[in-house]
Amino acid sequence: MSEPKKLFVKTYGCQMNVYDSERMVSALGGQGYVETDTPEGADMILLNTCHIREKAAEKIYSELGRYKPFKAANPDLKIGVAGCVAQAEGEEIIRRQPMVDLVVGPQAYHRLPEMESKIGQVKAQVDTEFPAEDKFDHLPRGPKARRAPSAFLTVQEGCDKFCAFCVVPYTRGAEVSRSVEQILAEAHDLVERGVVEINLLGQNVNAYHGTHDGREWGLAQLIRELAKIDELKRIRFTTSHPNDMDDDLIAAHGDCDKLMPYLHLPVQAGSDKVLKAMNRKHTAAEYLALIERIRAARPDIALSGDFIVGFPGETEEDFQATLDLCREVRYGQAYSFKYSPRPGTPAADRTHVDEAEKNDRLARLQALLSQHQAEFQNSMVGKTLPVLLEKPGRNPGQMIGKSEFLHAVHMDASPDQVGKIVQAKVLWSERNSLAAELI
């Protein structure tokens, strides 16, 4: 029996890329590959890329350059580029890095086994199509190995919103939802393998519209159906668009006990002028009214958001409107970035805000967001919270888990409690975590 081949996968970007990488590893398992943690000695290196951040493509070319010595030492080493940079760059990757054997977009990675089998027989292969067949129907099911207690499950891909700063509609395509049957089957499979928390993924997850028995289901109906799985204890979803938070999904936050009280709902800016320039199709007042309705349904909900500062045309007055929105919402957690142009997007050719001004605004925004996050974490001190224990910590006898509000929580506990939801009293708050003791 031949030894398994080693596959090294480096994943960039969002949780959906993490999910996609898992599926790619599973798909290539049929070709005799097993995953390894290091590129040294690998038989195949696969970069699963993200195109959201600045100079994403150049970073991938730089990373590929690091692997030239590996290829020189082992001419049989296979190198592939997958994901959104692959979708955006296509043949250009092969032109700039001839050592690359295959380039595959995020909608075609179910074809990886076929592409891998042809390496050496034909020239480097590129597949950045949006195939008619559903990739999820063509991916093999992996063995029933135990899983970490928390897992991602993609339910929707693509985006039709066309925000002026975003490449997702161009790299991931139009909004497509998986069928209810597919999702339920995968959820049951995950639970059988030890998963107790599922995070439903989508570029615009609350735009989910699947089918079941000939009827269309929204995300709220899907969540309620998943909640019927006894061994599944927690449900989350990300990332959402404010315009797709319908009444039923808001109600689900109040009436579905398994849906965690945490919602990531990006707004990007607090100025209506900037929101219009971004093509967000909502105002700051509409966003705030939505937050009020969500909190009415679930008063203890923790909110998270995304912000872009220095968008083309943003003035200091516009930026102050963003700070005002943050003060009103008081996010438990938030992510903020300087605007950086993405080639091919509508905002890329507009007049940009001075870089020094962007840096200053980002620093001021992050200081405010950090203050609110610290205040929210400090409010947990003294409370008893249900914590899902997930893995050992850095110190002997320490375990790390996750609160309902997505806080990292560390405490002394036994490793055999991984996958258990325990009651823990919060002792103190640290910068990005909570310290607790078992009750």
- Produce one character per residue of 61-91: b if its CB has 16 or more CB atoms within 10 Å, e if not: bebbeebeebbeeeeebbbbbbbbbbbbbbe
Q: How many CA atoms lie within 13 A of 305 on its CB side?
A: 28
User: Angle 219-226/247-255 helices, nearest 10 degrees?
Assistant: 20
Annotated binding site for [4Fe-4S] cluster: 14, 50, 84, 159, 163, 166
239 preceded by a cis bond (ω within 30 of 0):
yes
Pairwise CA distance, residues 89 & 94, whole Å: 9
In 3D space, the residue among 157, 64, 54 whose CA is nearest the CA of residue 103 turns out to be 64
Alpha-helical (H) ranges within 242-315 are 247-255, 272-278, 284-297
Strand partners, 11: 48
Pairwise CA distance, residues 158 & 249, whole Å: 20
| Angle subtended at Cα 86 by Cα 84 and Cα 87, rounded to the nearest 5 degrees | 65
- What are 287's two structure tokens? 């966003």
Cβ neighbours, 10 Å, residue 271 = 24
Tokens 């350059």 map to which residue?
Answer: 65
Provide the residue type at 301 as one letter. Answer: I
Tokens 């599922």 map to which residue?
Answer: 198
